A and B are shown apart, each in its own frame.
Chain A
Amino acid sequence: MRGHCGLFFESYRAEAAVFPSTFQRVCLGLFVAALLACPFMLSSYYVSVMNLIFIAVIGAVSLNLLTGVCGQISLGHGAFIGVGAYAAAQASLHGAPFLAALVLGGFAAALAGMVFGVPSLRLKGIYLAIATLAAQLILEYVFLHWESVTGGSRGLVVNAPQILGYSFDTERKTFYLLLAVTSLCLLCVTNVLRSRHGRAFVSIRDFYLSAEIAGVNLFSSKLAAFGLSSFLAGVAGGLWAHYTMFISAEQFGIGLSVSYLAMIIIGGLGSVSGSVMGAAFMTLLPEFLNAGSSALSGVLPDISGSIVALREGVFGLVLVLFLVFEPEGLANRWRLIKAYWKLYPFSH
């Protein structure tokens, strides 16, 4: 059909596509091309920052699936990432191929997540948060004291990822590996969200009484959310372990759980693109603050010491300001921007 104005679909399947319009597909193509070119244009340090963003994206999107989409607040996400990291590290130390170790780490984390997700049948909201906090503390204790497996406070040295003999031993090579795994994880979560399970998750979040009436099994759906979310968290952990090649118990503390919660709140609860934006924002903010403070200390060398201290305060301040002025998250701001340009220049 030529000369039409707007989007038309001839099948329900076409309408359910992730990127229904040609414009969106072109934009996505350009974005991916830019990403693929990144390692050639950025210094090794910035590529490593991008790599950390990729891992954070997987962690954030998995927490968003549980907390943003299904409404089950979890303060134990950092520990689930840790379970995945240790399991994947141990698997590859025992000779499992990297990808198998990654999946194994995912399943180990999923198991842990589902066990600690059982109280979610009875506990809601802030009470569930406390229950998952208990999971965090218990697992942290295990990481520190099960020395034969985790190495305790000495940590655990892990090999660089290797697939079919090809070793991802530089930042640039790892970039493409992480990009691929992250894209796959994002696609999987997007798929879940447009299917019956994703709808069931949201229905539990929005009104669990009518979800039950609609035939949603609350318990098994919540467990599925915990399992799926923790699986992806475990994959993030496995990637992190193999990427940094060293893990120790203090990495997976309550601070990690809270920073992932911050990512999804800043990015936008329940939104895949919000998870990406939130993860990028939270990883880049310290970088910007670093750059800012080193620039300032060049101008004012006398107070460079206090600027470093100030940086932590500014980090907190930026987060608070964000919550005040953008409570719906970056994803919502992005929607508003798109909505504005949709009608441009005739906004009325």
Chain B
Amino acid sequence: MAAMTPLLEVKGVTLTFKGIAALTDVAFSVEKGRIVSLIGPNGAGKTSILNCISGRYTPDCGEIYLDGRNLLALPAHKRTGLGLSRTFQNIALFKGLSVLDNLMVGRHHLIHYGLLSSILYFGRAAADESVHRGRVEEVIDFLNLSPYRHLAAGSLPYGVQKRVELGRALAAEPKLILLDEPMAGMNLEETEDMARYILDICEEWGATVLLIEHDMGVVMDISDKVVVLDFGSVLAQGRPEEISSNTDVVAAYLGTEDATFFGR
């Protein structure tokens, strides 16, 4: 494919917690329309880099650009407006809200009527709610969540909650969607469904995906590019087949010569 300007650019990001380096000079880019996976052993800094992008952490130095805009200059809640959304490693749903309302919160930054409209629920508020409800229903259809639409998110089974969280991120109409271990704790069937959803998000919904995942089979199958982190710095990055044959990665990540681990 022709060279594309990267959607997300991470340059020289360094993050320390009280002198302990979590990330050191991390640099990688995510091209538009691709699925990029972030892998590495536990504690390598994968979630930290996601937190830096989404605004939970502020890196000590470095730059992060989304579509040419400097993310670090914005507080977390304003980054959503640039087309960024994410899911969390441990489910972070609004347990007391219905699935529908969880997804509607995902669209919060797209709904603009004021507090007075809210109080009166007349005119603009009622009209906007209908429109956005329609968009949320598309996500519900896509993720097969319709049976759960009106149920409280906290009452749903684990696999469904994971899907609702994906739905909430997708409802925000993101350009870049950050997924933190979307397959964690899922059985084979659920994992395959989730992989299908991720591929469709990229191909049909036009979102770019940055993914953290431990399931190597999935990573190697669906990724266009893999970034390997180890001890807070980038060990290697490239196409999946390059990564799985990279001796550094195999040595550092697996610690043995057991390269067959990368096959399914």
Q: Interface of A with B (CB < 8 Å)?
A: 11-13, 16, 188, 191-192, 194-200, 202-203, 205-207, 209-218, 224, 228, 270
Decide yes or no: A214 and B118 within 8 Å by CB, A203-B94, A206-B93 being known contacts: no
Residues of chain B from 31 to 67 with CB closer than 8 A to chain A in the complex:
54-56
CB of A12 within 8 A of CB of B134, answer: yes
Decide yes or no: A215 and B108 within 8 Å by CB, A12-B134, A195-B118, A197-B118 being known contacts: yes
CB of B101 within 8 A of CB of A212, answer: no
Task: Determine the chain A residues whose CB is within 8 A of the CB of B101 once the complex forms.
Answer: 199, 202
Residues of chain B from 102 to 129 with CB closer than 8 A to chain A in the complex:
104-106, 108-109, 111, 113, 115, 117-121, 125-126, 129
CB of A228 within 8 A of CB of B96, answer: no
Alpha-carbon distance between A191 and B78 when the two chains are bound, in angstroms = 26
Q: Which stretch from B84-92, B237-245, B248-256 is at the chain A interface?
A: B84-92
Decide yes or no: A202 and B129 within 8 Å by CB, A12-B134, A196-B108, A214-B106 being known contacts: no
CB of B97 within 8 A of CB of A199, answer: yes
B133 part of interface (Cβ distance < 8 Å) = yes
CB of B77 within 8 A of CB of A270, answer: no
Alpha-carbon distance between A228 and B119 when the two chains are bound, in angstroms = 10
B side interface size, CB within 8 A: 39
CB of B121 within 8 A of CB of A195, answer: yes
B117, closest chain A residue (CB): A195
CB of A216 within 8 A of CB of B108, answer: yes
Task: Determine the chain A residues whose CB is within 8 A of the CB of B115 once the complex forms.
Answer: 192, 197, 224, 228
CB of B126 within 8 A of CB of A16, answer: yes
For the complex of A and B, list the 7 residue pairs with the smallest distance between their C-beta atoms, beginning with the closest. A215-B109, A215-B80, A191-B121, A195-B118, A206-B94, A12-B133, A210-B92
CB distance from B172 to the nearest CB of A (A): 7
CB of A215 within 8 A of CB of B172, answer: yes
CB distance from A153 to the nearest CB of B (A): 37
Alpha-carbon distance between A206 and B168 when the two chains are bound, in angstroms = 15
Known contacts A199-B108, A217-B77, then 4 further A-B pairs from the complex at CB < 8 Å, ordered by chain A residue: A16-B133, A196-B113, A196-B118, A199-B101
Alpha-carbon distance between A196 and B111 when the two chains are bound, in angstroms = 7
B145 part of interface (Cβ distance < 8 Å) = no
Residues of chain B from 14 to 39 with CB closer than 8 A to chain A in the complex:
none
CB of A213 within 8 A of CB of B108, answer: no
B165, closest chain A residue (CB): A210
CB of A12 within 8 A of CB of B104, answer: no
Decide yes or no: A210 and B88 within 8 Å by CB, A202-B94, A215-B108 being known contacts: yes
Alpha-carbon distance between A224 and B117 when the two chains are bound, in angstroms = 14
CB of A12 within 8 A of CB of B129, answer: yes
Task: Determine the chain A residues whose CB is within 8 A of the CB of B119 once the complex forms.
Answer: 188, 191-192, 228
Task: Determine the chain A residues whose CB is within 8 A of the CB of B85 once the complex forms.
Answer: 213-214
Residues of chain B from 139 to 163 with CB closer than 8 A to chain A in the complex:
none
CB of A209 within 8 A of CB of B92, answer: yes
Task: Determine the chain A residues whose CB is within 8 A of the CB of B113 once the complex forms.
Answer: 195-196
Pairs A–B under 8 Å by Cβ, sample size 6:
A199-B105, A206-B93, A206-B94, A210-B92, A214-B108, A270-B96
Alpha-carbon distance between A194 and B125 when the two chains are bound, in angstroms = 10
B222 part of interface (Cβ distance < 8 Å) = no
